[in-house]
Amino acid sequence: MSGLNAIALIWFGSIHRIAGWICDVPAGTRKLILKILGLVLLTGNGLVYALPPLLGQGLRLPAEFSAIAYFIVPLFILAGRGKTGSWAAYSGLMAGFFYFLAMILRGEILYGADTPSLIYLSMLNHGILYLFGLTAIRVRLYPTSDRGVLMAGILCVASWALVVRPWIEEPGGLLIYKLLDASLIRAALPQVSRAVALPCYYLGLVLLIGLSFRVFFSINRGQYQVSPIRILSA
């Protein structure tokens, strides 16, 4: 699909504009918009994963971080506020940002062979996730003590991916399994070096995740702005 990088860039910029508008509407209207988008995301992906088994095409289960977020984020949004709010904001922001970053930089190489319908569906799903994240960090200030919630969320995603692995077709092609298996390290280093390299790799991965938490809270504090509309409608 030609022009995919440019399309992703336009979509990415549009999401930021839409998020800015949603943040400035009254809280009741904002909640209604997000709940409708959450229902769209939840219902659409529910059908994507439920229909194949019903049609005799085999079981499909979400394993990637973003695929799991398609279900978890809207459920948390629909459930209302709580400690899970920081996880919904974090996962929506991370899944959406890095997806669009990859699309803008290497979209035609990574996804150019996919059908247009699949590409646009993926962009819509990640766009809604990113919209959730952008909106959440601008209208609510999350305490840094929620790091524990974020880490628990990461551990739950990793545990789920490991549990469902036997039912995933070609798990080696998914990013989450490449990260969990340290595929690049295992392929690049001889057996003797792995005893040192693998612990260093997993330690580095944990540190990167911790850094992403720090960045999330920093962005939240930079984006959160108190306005008369938000004070009156919170």
* CA dihedral for 190, 192, 193, 196, sign (positive or negative): positive
Residues 13, 83: Cα–Cα separation, whole Å: 29
Q: Residues 118-156: pLDDT tens digits?
A: 889 999 999 999 999 999 999 999 999 999 999 999 999
Question: What's this model's pTM, rounded to 2 decimal places?
Answer: 0.90
pLDDT band at residue 56 using 50, 70 and 90 as cut-offs: confident
Give the C-alpha distances (Å, rounded to integers) separating 115 from 11, 16, 22, 70, 169. 18, 26, 31, 20, 19
Of the pLDDT bands very low, low, confident and very high (cuts 50, 70, 90), residue 2 is: low
Characterize 28-44 residue by residue with b for buried, 16 or more Cβ atoms within 10 angstroms of its Cβ, and e for exposed.
eebbebbeebbeebbee
Least confident interval from 41-45, 139-143, 194-198: 194-198
Q: Calculate helix-pair angle for 65-79, 84-111, nearest 10 degrees.
A: 150
As a whole number, mean pLDDT of residues 79-84 equals: 70
Please tell me the predicted confidence (pLDDT) of residue 81: 61
Task: Inform me whether the pLDDT recorded for 234 exceeds 80.
Answer: no
Q: What is the pLDDT of residue 80?
A: 65
Q: How far apart are CA 38 and CA 18, in angstroms?
A: 15
Domain regions of the chain by residue span: 4-233
| Residue 195 pLDDT level (bands cut at 50, 70, 90) | confident
Pair 211, 219: CB distance under 8 Å: no
pLDDT for 76: 86
From the centroid of its chain, how far is CA 45? 14
| 48 C-beta neighbours (distance < 10 Å), count | 15
Whether the predicted pLDDT of 232 surpasses 70: no
Token pair, residue 51, equals 């229909």
Per-residue pLDDT reduced to its tens digit, 205-224: 999 999 999 999 999 999 98
The first and second tokens of residue 178, run together, are: 């490449």
